[in-house]
Amino acid sequence: MSETGKNRSEQVPSILSKVNIFKGDRVLWVIVAILFVVSLLAVYSSVAKMGYSPYWKPSTSHYLRNHIFAIIISVCALFVAYLVSCRLYRRIATLLYLGALALTVMAYIPGISHATNGAARWISIFGFPFQPSELLKVATILFLAQQLAARQKVIRTLRIVPSLNPFRWSRPEQKQIWLTGTCPILVPVALSCGVILKAHTSSAVLVFIISMVMMFIGRVKVRELLKVLGVVAIIGAMLVVFEFGRTQTASGRVGTWISLWTESQADKPVRDLTDTERAMIAIHDGGVVGVGAGRSVMRAKITHPESDYIFAFFVEEYGIILAIFLVLLYLWIFYRAIRIFEHCEWIFAGLLELGLALLITIQALAHIMVSINLLPETGQNLPLIAHGGSSMLCTAIAFGIILGTSRQIEQETLIPEKNESSFLSRG
């Protein structure tokens, strides 16, 4: 290995350096392994209510087998994504994005989709339920990284927001804005958020936030980003007024969240407690060291302890000390991604892995903040831990891409495309 290669290898800490298959950032490999183990323990304990409930016929061993199967499939997907070159990801970005978008649209077609909690989210692929919006999150980040990287030479002067007056769109300068900025960068993000919004408002907001951060890192002019925020604020207000999609549900959750902070809950009957209140009780009961594995009480009283509130359930059984360690693991993921980004010589790869790390970290923090009532209920689960095959699979793919990027940096095979500059600092 060259001297440069040695330096890079030293900059990416290795605790599995003797295991040849685990190239790249070994710290991330360890974190991923820990999260899979935590997932197995937490989900098996949390689904006990299903195994012993008269409304659920399968036993807890049935759910354990399903979750183990989901973990095995996810690990395989992670390794496949890890071994694929970033150059191939760049070439198939458009195809993957269009495919994920089409699958998400299919989830709204009667006869194809399956509804959960009043929202069409699932389709059946080879007999297995799949939530395509999870794949669309990853595909949107991939496509946006491709488009931003391809325009780095002109990004400082690029306009992405056309005139708000449609009668001006026929003018040459407006056509140029649509052609070079709006359609390749802004429209795909808007389409992704639009098709996700109807079934999962918080996921649409998550995709929008990450896209804005990626555009900022990708050097889109701040003035253009402020214009985007203004337009989105207007559209958001209109959606709430006309109750599009699940905005009514979202508004109700915000109202409930506000009432928990502003109104006394002392006289509320136990049966009327919200899941968030039950989650906070679980966290309180867990204390410093927890009540012990398999001894949770609140798992039987929270609607979805295995997904929407698995962090609160984890605190109850394992205590606040291990819960803080779990939070630090997610923050550590983002820190490792920043380190990889700093050593990445290709704009596309850097934006891609950092966008995916943002997706994992922000989703994890959103889930945790809901459990402690710092955010309204979002329905975001804890990445790579919560029960849910689609989410785990797509999160594993995201981890595989991040680890694959770090592997290519270590092996000095992360070569930019000829039509792209090597560094973000270059014009």
Question: Do residues 151 and 281 both lie within one domain?
Answer: no
Question: Do residues 30 and 99 both lie within one domain?
Answer: no
C-beta atoms surrounding 335 within 10 Å: 14
Question: Do residues 121 and 217 both lie within one domain?
Answer: yes
Decide which of 159 and 130 is more confident. Answer: 159
Q: Is 140 helix (H, G, I), strand (E, B) or coil?
A: helix
Question: Do residues 59 and 32 both lie within one domain?
Answer: yes
pLDDT digits (tens, 9 = 90+) for 396-407: 999 999 999 999
Whether residue 42 is contained in a domain is answered as yes
Count of the separate structural domains present in the chain: 2
pLDDT digits (tens, 9 = 90+) for 242-262: 666 566 666 667 777 777 777
Cα of 168 vs its chain's centroid, Å:
37
Distance separating the N- and C-terminal Cα atoms of the chain? 31
- Measure the CA–CA gap between 190 and 180, rounded to whole angstroms: 16
Q: DSSP string spanning 408-419?
A: HHHHT--PPPTT
Question: Do residues 189 and 294 both lie within one domain?
Answer: no
- Measure the CA–CA gap between 64 and 56, rounded to whole angstroms: 14
Question: Do residues 78 and 161 both lie within one domain?
Answer: no
C-alpha distances (whole Å) from 211 to each of 89, 206, 237, 303, 358 are: 18, 9, 20, 32, 10
- Measure the CA–CA gap between 166 and 184, rounded to whole angstroms: 19
Question: Do residues 326 and 288 both lie within one domain?
Answer: yes
Rg of the chain on CA atoms, in Å: 22
pLDDT of residue 199: 77
Whether residue 69 is contained in a domain is answered as yes
Question: Do residues 6 and 148 both lie within one domain?
Answer: no
pLDDT of residue 376: 84
Question: Do residues 106 and 175 both lie within one domain?
Answer: yes
Q: Are 114 and 122 in contact (CB under 8 A)?
A: yes
Q: Residue 24: enclosing H or E segment and its boundaries? A: none
Q: Is 103 helix (H, G, I), strand (E, B) or coil?
A: helix
Whether residue 174 is contained in a domain is answered as yes
Question: Do residues 144 and 232 both lie within one domain?
Answer: yes
Place of tokens 């330096």: 7
Whether the per-residue pLDDT at 130 is higher than 80: the answer is yes
Give the residue numbers spanning the domain of 204. 95-259
Q: Residues in the chain, how many? A: 427
Whether residue 351 is contained in a domain is answered as no
Q: Which one, of 320, 290, 361, lies nearest residue 35 by Cα? A: 361
- Measure the CA–CA gap between 128 and 37, rounded to whole angstroms: 23
Does pTM top 0.85 for this prediction? yes
Whether residue 267 is contained in a domain is answered as no
Whether residue 124 is contained in a domain is answered as yes
Whether residue 134 is contained in a domain is answered as yes
pLDDT of residue 145: 96
pLDDT digits (tens, 9 = 90+) for 359-375: 999 999 999 998 888 88
Question: Do residues 298 and 160 both lie within one domain?
Answer: no
Q: Are 107 and 71 in contact (CB under 8 A)?
A: no
pLDDT of residue 8: 47
Q: How confident is the model at residue 12 (pLDDT cuts 50, 70, 90)?
A: very low
Q: What mean pLDDT do residues 214-240 have? A: 90
Q: Is 154 helix (H, G, I), strand (E, B) or coil?
A: coil
Whether residue 425 is contained in a domain is answered as no
